[in-house]
Amino acid sequence: MDYVLPSERELAKILHVNRSTVVKSYEELKIVNLNFKVYDHII
Protein backbone atom coordinates (compact mmCIF):
# COMPACT_ATOMS: atom_id res chain seq x y z
CA MET A 1 0.00 0.00 0.00
CA ASP A 2 1.31 3.44 -0.90
CA TYR A 3 0.78 6.44 1.31
CA VAL A 4 0.63 10.00 -0.01
CA LEU A 5 2.31 12.53 2.24
CA PRO A 6 2.49 16.31 1.96
CA SER A 7 5.62 17.96 0.64
CA GLU A 8 8.43 18.59 3.10
CA ARG A 9 7.72 22.32 3.25
CA GLU A 10 3.98 21.86 3.62
CA LEU A 11 4.31 19.31 6.43
CA ALA A 12 6.86 21.46 8.25
CA LYS A 13 4.44 24.38 8.09
CA ILE A 14 1.52 22.26 9.33
CA LEU A 15 3.52 20.86 12.26
CA HIS A 16 5.39 24.10 13.02
CA VAL A 17 8.77 22.40 12.79
CA ASN A 18 11.90 23.01 10.78
CA ARG A 19 11.92 21.52 7.28
CA SER A 20 15.09 19.59 8.10
CA THR A 21 13.11 17.69 10.75
CA VAL A 22 10.65 16.56 8.10
CA VAL A 23 13.47 15.65 5.71
CA LYS A 24 15.03 13.43 8.39
CA SER A 25 11.66 11.85 9.14
CA TYR A 26 11.02 11.05 5.49
CA GLU A 27 14.51 9.52 5.28
CA GLU A 28 13.69 7.31 8.26
CA LEU A 29 10.49 6.17 6.56
CA LYS A 30 12.53 5.15 3.52
CA ILE A 31 14.96 3.20 5.74
CA VAL A 32 12.13 1.14 7.22
CA ASN A 33 10.91 0.57 3.65
CA LEU A 34 7.56 2.28 4.03
CA ASN A 35 6.16 2.94 0.57
CA PHE A 36 5.06 6.52 0.20
CA LYS A 37 4.77 9.28 -2.33
CA VAL A 38 5.19 12.94 -1.54
CA TYR A 39 2.43 15.10 -2.90
CA ASP A 40 4.26 18.20 -4.06
CA HIS A 41 2.25 21.13 -5.30
CA ILE A 42 2.56 24.88 -5.28
CA ILE A 43 0.34 26.53 -2.71
Distance, CA of 41 to CA of 43 (rounded, Å): 6
Mean pLDDT of 2-18: 91
Judged against a pLDDT cut of 50, whether residue 43 lies above it is answered with: no
DSSP state of 8: H
Confidence (pLDDT) at 15? 97
Q: DSSP character for 3?
A: E
pLDDT band at 3 (very low <50, low <70, confident <90, very high): confident
The rounded percent of the chain whose pLDDT value lies above 70 is 74
pLDDT value at residue 42: 47
CA dihedral 30, 25, 18, 6 (to 10 degrees): 60
Output the pTM of the full model.
0.70
How far apart CA 10 and CA 15 sit, in angstroms, is 9
Mean pLDDT (whole number) for 10-34: 90
